[in-house]
Chains A and B, each alone.
Chain A
Amino acid sequence: MKTIILRTASNYMLPLLLVFSVFILLRGHYLPGGGFVGGLIASIAFVLHAFANGLGNTKNLIRIHPGFLMPVGLGLSFLSGLSPMLGVGKPFMTGIWYPEKIAVIGGLGSALFFDVGVYLVVVGVTLTIIFTISEST
């Protein structure tokens, strides 16, 4: 769509939505939120940018093909599940936590890396589906 209002708004909405998605991702340990919702919000940001500026510009913005994010996210989640077995000798997917609190993130542990992996998978899957659909129509 060639409207200057929407294009200007989408330029400000894209970083706002991405920051909000990271906030939702980091909050998801004990409060509502998590990797899945954060990933959906991040993909909504890119879909809005694609509506305003065209699909080609959004693809140039992301640079890599979004399908590439899926194996990276799955591998990160698998490694975070594997880390208690390799590190401290506990069963698969046991939550291990760094004992001290860190400023912005809160608690740092294997669950956070699992959530980051889920985030990347959701962004990759959603953007692949939506880009494929909007290219075919």
Chain B
Amino acid sequence: MTLDDYLYYIILPVLSVSILLVFVRFVKGPTISDRVVAVDLLVTSGIGIIAVYSILTHQPTFLDIALILALIGFLGTVAYSFYIQKRKNK
């Protein structure tokens, strides 16, 4: 089993199933905090998929995009929690 087969038949299906499960939590999500954590996890799974495609297509440029996405996803989660906290304090 080569690395490409391993990535195609094991890593990508696992990431896809995890994105589906997280999306179920995102749709159901009883509170807004569940949805914020679900969005953060969706971004993280997307970073994993970008990394896999960067290996498969031999394009190191994709890793920079994954890095930017990680930083922006972190900022998004921080901003969401900032405003949730602000609303609770009122």
Interface residues of A (CB under 8 A from B): 1, 6, 13, 17, 20, 24, 31-33, 37, 41, 44, 47-48, 51-52
Q: Are B78 and A48 in contact (CB under 8 A)?
A: yes
Report the nearest A residue to B85, measured CB to CB: A1
Known pairs A1-B82, A20-B71 / 13 extra A-B pairs, C-beta < 8 Å: A1-B81, A1-B85, A13-B71, A24-B64, A32-B64, A32-B65, A41-B71, A44-B71, A47-B75, A48-B75, A51-B75, A51-B79, A52-B78
The smallest beta-carbon distance between A92 and chain B, in angstroms, is: 32
Residue numbers in B under 8 Å from A37 (CB-CB): 68
Q: For residues 69 through 83 of chain B, which have their beta carbon under 8 Å from a beta carbon of chain A?
A: 71-72, 75, 78-79, 81-82
Q: Are A20 and B67 in contact (CB under 8 A)?
A: yes
- 23 residue pairs A–B, Cβ–Cβ below 8 Å: A1-B78, A1-B81, A1-B82, A1-B85, A6-B78, A13-B71, A20-B71, A24-B64, A31-B61, A32-B61, A32-B64, A32-B65, A33-B64, A37-B68, A41-B71, A44-B71, A44-B72, A48-B75, A48-B78, A51-B78, A51-B79, A51-B82, A52-B78
Residue numbers in A under 8 Å from B71 (CB-CB): 13, 17, 20, 41, 44
A117 to B47, CA, bound (A): 31
Q: How large is the interface on B (under 10, 10 to 19, 20 to 34, 35 or more residues)?
A: 10 to 19
Main secondary structure of the interface of A (DSSP, over half): helix
A44 to B78, CA, bound (A): 12
A24 to B61, CA, bound (A): 11
Report the nearest A residue to B61, measured CB to CB: A32
A32 to B61, CA, bound (A): 8
Question: Across chains A and B, which 9 residue pairs bring their CB atoms closest together, nearest first?
Answer: A48-B75, A51-B78, A32-B61, A1-B82, A51-B82, A44-B75, A31-B61, A1-B85, A17-B71
A34 to B85, CA, bound (A): 36
Residue numbers in A under 8 Å from B75 (CB-CB): 44, 47-48, 51
Residue numbers in A under 8 Å from B65 (CB-CB): 32
The smallest beta-carbon distance between A107 and chain B, in angstroms, is: 19
